[in-house]
Every structure is written in C-alpha cells, then in structure tokens.
Structure 1
Amino acid sequence: MIEFERLHHVSLAVRDLERARRFYSEVLGFPEIERPPFRSKGIWYAVGADQQLHLLEHPPGETLRTKGIDTTDGHFAVWVKSHRETAAWLESKGINYEARPESVAGFAQIFILDPDHNIIEFGAPYNS
C-alpha cells in the first residue's frame, strides 16, 4: 500500500513564462523559489508551508485551454482566510472571477483564470 503524506506540487503549462511570472508573482503575490537547472524553462513557487506550484513553458498548441472558467476542468485550489477579502482584492487588481459564497462544496469558492486559461480556485470558510 502507498502511504501518502501530502500533495507536493501542481504543474501548469504556460505559453509565455514572463507573462506568467508577472501574473503569479506581481498580481497574485506567490513567492518564487529556486528551481533546479532543468533544460526546460519554468518557474517554481511556494504555496503555503510545503506545497509548490510549478509553471512550465510550453509552445502554443492544443494542450492548453482556450475557453473560460469551467469548474469541471482540471484546476488547483488554494485555501484562503477570507472569501470577501479575496474577492475585494481580485476586484482591485481587475481580475474577473466567478464567486460561489454559498457553494454546496462545504466552503465558499472563487474561480479565476490565469493568462493561459489555467483555472485557479480559492476556497475559504463560509461567511469569511
């Protein structure tokens, strides 16, 4: 039997690494961490205490999404302290989002798209 400990990282394909860096570093404020010297281009971020987000530059092609938010598509989720504060912050940055403050998921949800149409979910306690 496999003994799982935790999710280590999520990798996303991006078309333009510098555009992705501006979004994840400057807009969302994810802290960049050192990445090994792979032959591929990429950026790694710390997400919380011991999880990571890896962005990998990928040439344009059919593997990347082109449509809007579809919450049944693959995505990654980050837990935040406040649904209201996260929505307000996204609005201040001009980021379109889909909010579900009373989601049947058991917690409030907000969904956004990055510049390559990767879906990001922010989960928070109800009424936060």
Structure 2
Amino acid sequence: MLLTTGYHHVSIPVTDLARAKTFYREILGLKEIPRPPFDFPGAWFAIGENGQQLHLIVHDGETRRAGGIDTRDGHFALRVPEYEAAIDWLNEHGLKYRAKPDSITGFAQIFLLDPDHNIIELNAARSRM
C-alpha cells in the first residue's frame, strides 16, 4: 500500500497571470510564496499554515470551462472559519456564487469561479442562516 501524509499542492491553469494573482491574493486572501524559475509563467500561494500550496500555471491549452458553476465538476475546496462572513465578503466584491448552507455533506458550502472559470469551493461548519 502506498502511504501518503497529506496533499502538497493543487495546480490549476490560468490565462492571465496578473489577473489570477490579484484574485487569489485579494479575494481569497492567499499569500504568494517563492516559486522556482521554471521556463513558463506561474505563481505559487500558501494555503493555511501546514505547507499546502496552490500553483497557478499559465496555460494556453483547451482546459477552460465555458459554462457557469457546476458543483459536480472538478474543483478544490478551501475551509473558511465563518460561512456568513465569506458570503458577505463575496457579496461586497460582486462575485457570483452558489451557496449550499445546508449541504448533505454536513458542512456549509459556497461554490464560485475564479477569473479563468476554475471552480472553487469554500466550506465551513454549518451555517446559522
């Protein structure tokens, strides 16, 4: 059996690195971290305090979604401390999302798209809404 100790990073494609970095830094509050000098553009962000990372890779391929938020499509999830505060923040910034405060999962969920239509789930303990 292969033993794992957790996940290290998630990589997602982006088309406009500056726009993506602004979104992940200013909207999701992630901290950019050093990245090796690869021969292609991208950026790395820390997720939490335990070494997990998000890697943005500039990619011109056909890996983009054209549609809206599909909660069953591939996505990554970030845990947020307060569901209502996350909803308020997204509303303040005019972002579209799909809220599932009473999800069958047992935790509250919010799905949104980044500027390149990568799906992001924010989840928290059950909402009090």
TM-score, normalising length: structure 2: 0.94
What code does the residue aligned with 1:9 have?
H
Give a deviation string over 1:89-120, Cα, whole Å, max 9, x none.
Answer: 11111111110000001100000000000000
Give the Cα–Cα distance (whole angstroms) in 2 for the partners of residues 94 and 38 of structure 1. Answer: 34
What code does the residue aligned with 2:25 have?
S
Question: Which residue of 1 is the match for residue 75 of structure 2?
Answer: 75
Question: Which residue of 1 is the match for residue 62 of structure 2?
Answer: 62
Q: Displacement, 1:27? A: 2.2
Within a 5 Å distance, the mapping from 1:1-128 to structure 2 comes to 1-49=1-49, 50-59=51-60, 61-127=61-127
Q: Displacement, 1:127? A: 2.6
Give the Cα–Cα distance (whole angstroms) in 2 for the partners of residues 127 and 110 of structure 1. Answer: 11
Q: Displacement, 1:42? A: 0.4
Give the Cα–Cα distance (whole angstroms) in 2 for the partners of residues 127 and 92 of structure 1. Answer: 19
Unmatched runs of 5 consecutive residues or more in structure 1: none
CA RMSD of aligned residues (A): 1.0
Give the Cα–Cα distance (whole angstroms) in 2 for the partners of residues 27 and 9 of structure 1. Answer: 19
Count how many residue pairs are aligned between Structure 1 and Structure 2.
127
Q: Displacement, 1:64? A: 1.2
3-state SS of paired residue (1:55): strand
Give the Cα–Cα distance (whole angstroms) in 2 for the partners of residues 92 and 63 of structure 1. Answer: 30
TM-score, normalising length: structure 1: 0.95
What code does the residue aligned with 2:74 have?
G
Give a deviation string over 1:25-52, Cα, whole Å, max 9, x none.
Answer: 1222210000001111100000011210
3-state SS of paired residue (2:116): coil
